[in-house]
């Protein structure tokens, strides 16, 4: 009977339980390694993370890579718009030297390379779809197809988030079974409607603008709340004690120590059954 209802839920487009951890590494381990690289993912694991967040966007030839900015300058030795650069050209760039000489030659990873490394390391993932303008639908479609292909059933159920509503819409269309997080800088007044519109199970917000009242409104509604970017230990502890489900941080080790997680953080956050 239970089996039958699980089957029915899958067919209706709902996924397995999302179990968010208390601590999620931002762009891998952004304070300790060049963001959104395989080195950053390995560092996150080394520092005790059980989950990481990273940003996915498309090259000019439609390949999904881990990258935050629309342009190459800040985090590589290249120049120009990511959307105007091919994967082959991006693969020749150094995405590590800007962070430190120890990371010289670190390449920009493709999304599938990153997924395979996370599987190897046993890391859960928050995939942030970060489209360049006008590529909201295409980026989500490509990313979700790759996620479906490369993310095995035995791994923790991932969460997909985006600031771009169109990306969430397409993510739901392509892979309805993958839970979605509604990502916003500030809590929208109609957050309940927006979450319902894109069938989101979690709310991902910038902690900087969130008042205690707003935080309480969300947590009291029983909605899993993920806050970014929380780099202060005491603040992370207060958030988590107040019902916040997860904090996304550049400083994984600092936050784990502050919340008294002696061992690598297990997925002990709220379980969300869709």
Hey, which residues are catalytic here? 26, 68
State which residue, 48 or 181, has the beta carbon closest to ligand G3P. 181
Partner that binds at residue 59, options Mg ion, ligand G3P, none, CB closer than 5 to 8 Å by kind = none
* Nearest distance, CB of residue 204 and ligand G3P, angstroms: 6
Mask 156-175, x = binds ligand G3P (CB under 6 A)?
Answer: -----x--------------
> Rounded CA gap, 27 and 35, in Å?
5
Q: Binding to ligand G3P (CB under 6 A): which residues in 58-117?
A: 68
CA atoms within 13 A on the CB side of 63: 19
> Does 35 help bind ligand G3P (rule: CB under 6 A)?
no
36 and 66 Cβ atoms separated by less than 8 Å? yes
99 and 28 Cβ atoms separated by less than 8 Å? no
Q: In Å, how far are 144, 205, 215 from 209, measured between CA atoms?
A: 30, 8, 10
134 and 83 Cβ atoms separated by less than 8 Å? no
Mask 176-195, x = binds ligand G3P (CB under 6 A)?
Answer: -------x------------
> Does 248 help bind ligand G3P (rule: CB under 6 A)?
yes
Partner that binds at residue 42, options Mg ion, ligand G3P, none, CB closer than 5 to 8 Å by kind = none
49 and 265 Cβ atoms separated by less than 8 Å? yes
What does the binding site for Mg ion look like in residue numbers (CB under 5 A)?
55, 128
* Nearest distance, CB of residue 228 and ligand G3P, angstroms: 4
CB atoms within 10 A of CB 52: 29
Partner that binds at residue 161, options Mg ion, ligand G3P, none, CB closer than 5 to 8 Å by kind = ligand G3P
Residues that contact ligand G3P, how many (by CB under 6 A): 10
State which residue, 9 or 71, has the beta carbon closest to ligand G3P. 71
Q: What is the DSSP letter of 122?
A: T
* Nearest distance, CB of residue 4 and ligand G3P, angstroms: 36
108 and 90 Cβ atoms separated by less than 8 Å? yes
User: In sequence order, what E strands does the chain have?
Assistant: 18-19, 23-25, 51-58, 64-66, 124-129, 159-162, 180-184, 202-206, 225-228, 246-249, 271-272
Q: What's the residue count for the chain?
A: 274
> Does 228 help bind ligand G3P (rule: CB under 6 A)?
yes
The residue number with the shortest CB distance to Mg ion is: 128
Partner that binds at residue 99, options ligand G3P, Mg ion, none, CB closer than 5 to 8 Å by kind = none
219 and 240 Cβ atoms separated by less than 8 Å? no
Q: What is the dihedral of CA 118, 199, 274, 177, to 10 degrees?
A: -50
The residue number with the shortest CB distance to ligand G3P is: 228
Site of interaction with ligand G3P (CB under 6 A): 26, 53, 55, 68, 128, 161, 183, 204, 228, 248
């Amino acid at each position: 009977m239970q089996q039958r209802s699980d089957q029915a839920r899958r067919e209706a487009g709902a996924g397995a339980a999302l179990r968010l951890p208390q601590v999620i590494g931002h762009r891998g381990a952004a304070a300790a390694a060049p963001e959104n690289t395989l080195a950053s993912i390995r560092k996150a694991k080394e520092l005790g993370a059980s989950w990481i967040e990273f940003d996915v966007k498309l090259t000019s030839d439609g390949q999904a890579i881990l990258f935050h900015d629309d342009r190459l300058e800040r985090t590589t030795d290249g120049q120009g718009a990511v959307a105007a650069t091919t994967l082959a050209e991006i693969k020749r760039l150094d995405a590590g030297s800007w962070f430190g000489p120890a990371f010289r030659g670190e390449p920009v990873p493709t999304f599938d390379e990153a997924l395979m490394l996370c599987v190897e390391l046993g890391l859960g993932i928050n995939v942030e779809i970060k489209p360049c303008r006008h590529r909201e639908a295409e980026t989500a479609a490509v990313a979700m197809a790759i996620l479906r292909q490369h993310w095995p059933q035995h791994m923790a159920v991932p969460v997909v988030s985006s600031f771009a509503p169109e990306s969430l819409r397409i993510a739901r269309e392509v892979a309805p079974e993958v839970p979605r997080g509604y990502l916003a800088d500030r809590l929208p007044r109609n957050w309940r409607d927006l979450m319902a519109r894109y069938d989101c199970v979690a709310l991902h917000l910038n902690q900087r603008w969130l008042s205690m009242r707003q935080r309480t409104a969300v947590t009291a509604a029983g909605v899993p709340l993920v806050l970014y970017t929380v780099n202060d230990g005491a603040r992370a502890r207060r958030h988590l004690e107040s019902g916040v489900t997860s904090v996304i941080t550049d400083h994984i080790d600092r936050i784990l120590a502050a919340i008294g997680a002696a061992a690598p953080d297990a997925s002990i956050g709220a379980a969300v059954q869709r």
